[in-house]
Amino acid sequence: MLLQQLVNGLMLGSTYALVAIGYSLIFGVLRLLHLAHGEVFMVGAFAGLELVVWWHAGPIAALVGGLVGSALIGMLLEFVAFRPIRRRGNSHLAPIVSTIGAGLVIQEVMTKIFGSEQTAFPVHFSQTEYHLAGLTLDATQLFILAISFVAMLALHLFVTRTRYGIAMRATSENLRIAAVLGVNIDQVVLLTFALASGLGGLAGVLVGLNFNAISPYMGVEMGIKGMAVMLIGGLGSIYGAMAGGLILGIAEVLSVAYLSSSLRDGFAFGLMILILLLRPRGLFATGVAVER
């Protein structure tokens, strides 16, 4: 029973991790919070849904659609809500306000198009269950786990072994020095938003597959959970976001299984508060300051 719940927690936590990685990527490079990231996650879910419903696409095509759709929205937000403010100064409040407004606009537009009610997300998986060492997993769960961990591994390889990944790491250390050394800051920031938003879109499609339903308001809760995970893992830490997402997912599932479903969010955020009391900078703090 415990092992089964741990696996369920890993599946839920892996989607939290993908969303939180987006927060961490953007904060790590710009030291700014992107409070419309939950709505970007939601757009990815609907982009995947459209491919499934209208084009009868399979899960992989839905994931690609969610990734591309969210990446495009993320880049648009960078042009509209971040770049003009970033070029005017170092205000940390203005981008927060602008992204809250952008998130509300996205939410209203999606509500006008798709309605405010939940929309079913068709699942193209067999209902066959697999039994291994006392665990019971179906094809959907295996797919979500595989895609989540492959995406996180691909991001790790990109950040550590590619030219643009190295440029992102250099920019996260010090934006001005990176610019002096020849890094195209605008290009790196745009790429960061595309990656962060694309991972959020992947998570949106995976959540739709898992719960078989999505809505224009699903980004609000996931956005809050993603920020909580980022705080648990450490501001700006990609690997902290990965670990924090898995920790939060396992904590939520165990609280539902052994305590009460009504305590799910309270237990999860209580864990976040406890971790921050013991380690105020998170479990995997990067050691960089917010002000520079």
C-alpha–C-alpha distance, residues 278 and 109, integer Å = 42
Split into its structural domains, the chain has a count of 1
Domain for residue 251, yes or no?
Answer: no
Domain for residue 166, yes or no?
Answer: yes
Band of residue 160 on the pLDDT scale cut at 50, 70, 90: very high
Domain for residue 269, yes or no?
Answer: no
Q: Is the pLDDT of residue 279 over 70?
A: yes
Higher pLDDT, 270 or 124: 270
Domain for residue 97, yes or no?
Answer: yes
Domain for residue 186, yes or no?
Answer: yes
Domain for residue 40, yes or no?
Answer: yes
Q: Which two tokens stand for residue 135?
A: 């665990």
Q: Which domain holds residue 57?
A: 12-124+140-222
HSE-up (13 A, CA, CB side) for residue 255: 17
Q: Which two tokens stand for residue 231?
A: 């705080």
Q: Tell me the per-residue pLDDT of 216-238, one tens digit each, with 9 for 90 and over.
A: 999 999 999 998 899 889 888 89
- 288, with CB counted inside 10 A (0-12, 13-18, 19+), is middle
- Dihedral-angle region of residue 134 (phi above 0 means left; psi in -120 to 50 means alpha; beta otherwise): left
Instruction: Output the average pLDDT for the chain.
Output: 88
pTM: 0.91
The answer to whether 99 and 74 have CB atoms below 8 angstroms apart is no
Q: Is the pLDDT of residue 125 over 70?
A: no
Band of residue 290 on the pLDDT scale cut at 50, 70, 90: very low
The answer to whether 92 and 25 have CB atoms below 8 angstroms apart is no
Domain for residue 5, yes or no?
Answer: no
The answer to whether 167 and 188 have CB atoms below 8 angstroms apart is yes
Q: What is the pLDDT of residue 157?
A: 95
SS3 label, residue 174: coil
Say how many residues make up the chain.
Answer: 292
Q: Is the pLDDT of residue 278 over 90?
A: no
Q: Is the pLDDT of residue 291 over 60?
A: no
Please name the helix (run of DSSP H) or strand (run of DSSP E) that holds residue 37, with its range, or none.
Answer: helix 37-55
Domain for residue 168, yes or no?
Answer: yes
The residue type found at 220 is V
Q: Which two tokens stand for residue 11?
A: 């599946």
C-alpha–C-alpha distance, residues 140 and 137, integer Å = 8
Q: Is the pLDDT of residue 180 over 60?
A: yes
